[in-house]
Amino acid sequence: MSSNLPERRWPETYATDELRLQWEFLDFLRLTATSKVAGLSRALGAAAPLATSPVVTAMGVLKHLTAVERYWMSIVGGGADLPSLWGVDADASWVFRDDETPETVISDYQAEWVLSARALEGRGPDEPTALPDDKTVRWVLVHVIQETARHVGHLDFLRELADGTKGE
């Protein structure tokens, strides 16, 4: 796997700040997700090993996680005036363009992290989200954490099926 990605570190064991702990777990999961895609060729990153799920690819998972962050953190959480990355159908956020590579998909995902942090900067866990959705900042963060964790599990299998690489 690529060594030019930031080092993953477990969140502080004794962190007492709820939001800090949530952000640290999210960062750990984000870095795990990118490490699963880093170093794959475009062919392996685009491989869909499950015949019943043709959009489920390593690159597609990262594209989807980018859309998840954009929608929940920036648009719902922070009220940012950004275009949604969901597209017109349920699979649109999983589809990548011919010119995209594992490196560009990773870079786009990492750029979204910056927008997510800006969108929720200075907001408390009990504050309502910017869009009237009866959600709180806490709910949005926990939702993105669980969504990211779920897809990191998918990436574990996709990476192993792609080139045999195992690990966290």
Give domain status of residue 1, yes or no. Answer: no
Give domain status of residue 8, yes or no. Answer: no
Tally of domains within the chain: 1
Helix (H, G, I), strand (E, B) or coil at 110: helix
Give domain status of residue 7, yes or no. Answer: no
pTM: predicted TM-score of the whole model, two decimal places? 0.91
Give domain status of residue 148, yes or no. Answer: yes
Give domain status of residue 10, yes or no. Answer: no
Where helices occur in 12-125 by DSSP H, the ranges are: 18-37, 42-45, 58-69, 102-120
For the stretch 36-56, pLDDT in tens is 999 999 999 999 999 999 999
HSE-CB for 17 with a 13 A CA cutoff: 8
pLDDT at 153 over 60: yes
Domain that holds residue 138: 18-163
- In the chain the first and final C-alpha atoms are separated, in Å, by 11
Contact predicate 102/58, CB 8 Å: yes
Whichever domain contains 118, its CATH number is: 1.20.120.450
Give domain status of residue 142, yes or no. Answer: yes
* % of the chain exceeding 70 in pLDDT: 91
Give domain status of residue 50, yes or no. Answer: yes
Give domain status of residue 123, yes or no. Answer: yes
